[in-house]
Amino acid sequence: MARGGLTTPHFSRLCRRPLAAPAVSLVISLVALVLLAVWATRGPGPAEGIDLDVHRWLLRHRSPALVGVAAVVTRFGSAIVVVPLVFLGVLAVSPGDARRRLARAAATLSFLAAGLLLRLAVSQLVARARPPARDWAAAAAGYAFPSGHTTGAALAAALLAWTTTQRLQGQPLARALVWAVAACAAIAVGLTRVYLGMHWPSDVLGSWLVCVAVLSGGLVLLRLRRTAGVATGGRLGRHD
């Protein structure tokens, strides 16, 4: 190894290891999303098979009390809630001075916005109809696949959990608890969209796949940036 530098084999391994998992996750989630979209829109109607069966079963078993609870929970996926929640949450838990926290909050918010715009683009491309309006227990607008509320809630939960766990290094139980709470919140909002009759089950599954793809893509970019920094440091070291 050159003084202060990196040999080619070592640098190649360094590049591969951190990128492999998120890159594979990105590819798998995108392929699964495409296949799910094709499956969900295969028939002449907006839904059939298990989507329609689950929807009808929930309609038969809905209760006023649970509808009220679901109507409250589902609001945590709306853009008017997740945008300020993510901004203020990241601003509160990020380390550093006010300027650094503000910059990190703005960057995280930009990432969230990119994910929501991707979801909107997929929705416009697939153009799947929602369940009949008579089945809705709350107001809804736009296409069904993938669910906007589910995407917003899942992305917000993941971003807040990731930011929070950065301050919990060396505390595996606390980190696991944070991620468990985030997962439960994301799942809960997704389930309410189906329970309230505004989405087919596959719409929610598609939203989770969008989130996996967005988060995996973001992790790939972040690690590429870090790898580029290591490479730059290695080149500078060789010129010492």
The two three-digit tokens of residue 102, written as one number: 């503000």
pLDDT tens for 195-227 read 999 999 999 999 999 999 999 999 898 888 777
Backbone angles phi, psi at 202, to 5 degrees: -70, -20
Residue 41 belongs to some domain of the structure = no
* Residue type at position 131: P
143 near 122, Cβ under 8 Å?
Answer: no
Tell me if 199 sits within 8 A of 143, measured CB to CB.
Answer: no
Report if residue 20 sits inside a domain: no
The answer, yes or no, to whether residue 231 has pLDDT greater than 70, is no
- Measured CA to CA, the distance from residue 186 to residue 172 in angstroms comes to 21
CA distance 159 to 152: 11
Indicate whether 148 belongs to any domain.
Answer: yes
* pLDDT band per the 50, 70, 90 thresholds, residue 4: very low
74: in domain: yes
pLDDT tens digit sequence for 15-62? 455 678 889 999 999 999 999 999 888 876 766 788 999 999 999 999
Model pLDDT, residue 229 = 57
Residue 145 lies in a domain: yes
Question: What is the percentage of the chain residues whose pLDDT exceeds 90?
Answer: 68
Residue 53's domain comprises 47-219
Q: How far apart are the first and last CA of the chain?
A: 14
Can you say whether residue 197 is alpha, beta or left, with left for phi > 0 and alpha for psi between -120 and 50 degrees?
A: left
Residue 17 lies in a domain: no
In a domain, 114, yes or no: yes
Determine, yes or no, domain membership for 62: yes
